[in-house]
Every structure is written in C-alpha cells, then in structure tokens.
Amino acid sequence: MGAACLNWPGCDILKAVSTLKEIEAAAERLVPEQKQELMLFLAARLHAQGAKLPEPLKFSPTQVAGWIAEEEADMRRFQLVA
C-alpha cells in the first residue's frame, strides 16, 4: 500500500496484505464507513493516475421496455394487496 496509504485512516488493516485476494479479504473486515473511505481513496488514486472511466452501459429499447413492463406488473400486484 505504500506511503500514500498513511493518509487513509482504515489503512492499518490493509498494510499486512499484498495480493488482491488478501486485500479483498481484509476489505471484508472493514466496517461500512471504512469501506466507503476505501472506495473514495481508491477512486482518488485512480483519478490521479489518469485512469479512464468505464464506458456507459447501453441497453436496448427492448430491455428497457421489459423492465418497465415488469415494474408496472409489480405495481399492479402491490395495489391489489394493499
């Protein structure tokens, strides 16, 4: 994790790990607030290194229409129960 990690309070739990599997296991032990801090820390490092954002997801009109139909059917069922 290196010196940059020293600026992040949740860093202690990650100092003893080096492989991705070890990092993932250590991250699982973090409390939700620390996981959020870790995400922000990693995002800042990626941004500083010039990492590009992933391409936006693209959905076909058929997929979107299917989701809308499912939502509308769920809403009708919910209204019948209520």
User: Band of the pLDDT at 80, cuts 50, 70, 90?
Assistant: confident
Q: pLDDT at position 1, please? A: 44
Nearest alpha-carbon partner for 20 in 47, 42, 3, 51: 42
Mean pLDDT of 74-81: 87
Q: pLDDT at position 53, please? A: 82
Tell whether pTM > 0.75. Answer: no
Q: What is the pLDDT of residues 9-60, one digit of tens each?
A: 666 666 677 889 988 998 898 999 999 999 999 999 999 999 988 899 999 9
